[in-house]
């Protein structure tokens, strides 16, 4: 044991601190994958996963390793994990409204429930910090947000709250700020790319 610890200590000194695994969490459709794609694409030119107006597009967590965040002359390497949207309810009828047939909608609902469970597993075991993404046109007090931020706090994980979709006319990012006064809130549009530098600065500060 002692030897192992010493060896590990030696390696971590040699190669620097372990890379932080930053999970992108939030309710379905908040824009998590759009934001993850923008961060990853800004750096590597590739996307992390597909985006859709239909909720529960992401049904498996996806990780991108070694994403370099540059801000104010400093560099930080992190892993980005895009996770399925978390909710307490999934009804396949919702997907029928987007023109899916019954079988497709039922399959999507099943996968979505597994996706939520998977997101929770990652949060319990494999995540070192969280970017919690909220749609600024929606009510931030939805219980799922209060619950998730409560879980993140109880695990003492560093967190940045993102008030996303500020390009929309009925966006009210200020509401998100007053809902979570205890955490840093960054207002962005993942779609348009507004204010991404503010987000990179916060990432460099909070997940260092």
Partner 1 sequence: MIQGVQIDMLSSDRLSRMTSMEKIRLILDDVRQGYIVVLEKGLTPEEQGKLLETTMMEISPGGFSGIEIETYPSSGGSEGGLFSKLFGGGKTPAGRLMVIGPVDQLKMLTREKDRLIAWASAAQ
Contact between 7 and 164 under an 8 Å Cβ cutoff? The reply is: no
Distance separating the N- and C-terminal Cα atoms of the chain? 28
Greatest Cα pair distance, the chain, in angstroms, is: 60
Write out the DSSP string of 173-184. HHHHHHH-TTS-
Nearer to partner 1, 71 or 87 (CB): 87
User: What is the sign, positive or negative, of the torsion defined by CA atoms of 34, 72, 21, 136?
Assistant: negative
CA 6 to chain centre: 34
Please choose which of Mg ion, partner 1, ligand GTP, none residue 53 contacts, taking the beta carbon within 5 to 8 angstroms, the exact cut-off set by kind.
ligand GTP
Applying CB under 5 A, the span of 11-19, 32-40, 149-157, 173-181 interacting with Mg ion comes to: 32-40
Nearer to Mg ion, 76 or 135 (CB): 135
Under the criterion CB under 8 A, does residue 174 sit at the interface with partner 1? no
Tally the C-alpha atoms within 13 A of residue 48's C-alpha that lie toward its C-beta: 31
What own/partner pairs with CB < 8 Å and gap ≥ 24 does 150-153 have? 151/123, 152/25, 152/123
Please choose which of Mg ion, ligand GTP, partner 1, none residue 89 contacts, taking the beta carbon within 5 to 8 angstroms, the exact cut-off set by kind.
partner 1
Contact between 201 and 73 under an 8 Å Cβ cutoff? The reply is: no
Under the criterion CB under 8 A, does residue 150 sit at the interface with partner 1? yes
Residue nearest ligand GTP (C-beta atom): 85
Nearer to partner 1, 42 or 104 (CB): 104
Question: Shortest Cβ distance from residue 189 to ligand GTP (Å)?
Answer: 4
Contact between 111 and 59 under an 8 Å Cβ cutoff? The reply is: yes
The Cα 72–Cα 32 span in angstroms is 25
Per-residue x/- marks for partner 1, 77-106, CB under 8 A? ---------xxxxxxx------------xx
Nearer to ligand GTP, 79 or 94 (CB): 94
Question: Within positions 161 to 200, which residues make up the interface with ligand GTP, using CB under 6 A?
Answer: 164-165, 167-168, 189-191
Q: Which two tokens stand for residue 141?
A: 């007090």
* Residues making contact with Mg ion (CB under 5 A): 32-33, 57-58
* Residues making contact with ligand GTP (CB under 6 A): 26, 28-34, 51-53, 55-58, 84-85, 164-165, 167-168, 189-191
* Residues making contact with partner 1 (CB under 8 A): 86-92, 105-106, 109-110, 113-114, 116-117, 120, 123-124, 139, 141-143, 146-147, 149-151, 153-154, 179, 181-182
């Amino acid at each position: 044991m002692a030897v192992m610890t010493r060896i590990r200590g030696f390696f971590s000194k040699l190669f620097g601190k372990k890379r932080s695994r930053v999970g992108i969490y939030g309710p379905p459709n908040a824009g998590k994958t759009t934001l993850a794609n923008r961060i990853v694409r800004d750096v590597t030119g590739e996307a992390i996963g597909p985006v859709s107006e239909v909720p529960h597009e992401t049904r498996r967590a996806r990780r991108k390793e070694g994403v370099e965040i540059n801000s104010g002359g400093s560099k930080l390497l992190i892993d980005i994990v895009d996770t399925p949207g978390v909710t307490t309810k999934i009804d396949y009828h919702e997907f029928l409204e987007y023109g899916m047939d019954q079988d497709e909608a039922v399959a999507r609902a099943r996968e979505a429930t597994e996706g939520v469970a998977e997101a929770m597993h990652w949060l319990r075991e494999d995540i070192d910090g969280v970017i919690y993404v909220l749609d600024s046109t929606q009510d931030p007090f939805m219980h799922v947000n209060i619950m998730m931020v409560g879980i993140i706090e109880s695990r003492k994980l560093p967190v940045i709250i993102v008030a996303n979709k500020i390009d929309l006319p009925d966006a009210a990012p200020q509401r998100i700020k007053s809902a979570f006064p205890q955490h840093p809130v960054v207002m962005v549009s993942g779609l348009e790319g507004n204010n991404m530098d503010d987000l990179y600065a916060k990432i460099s500060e909070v997940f260092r």
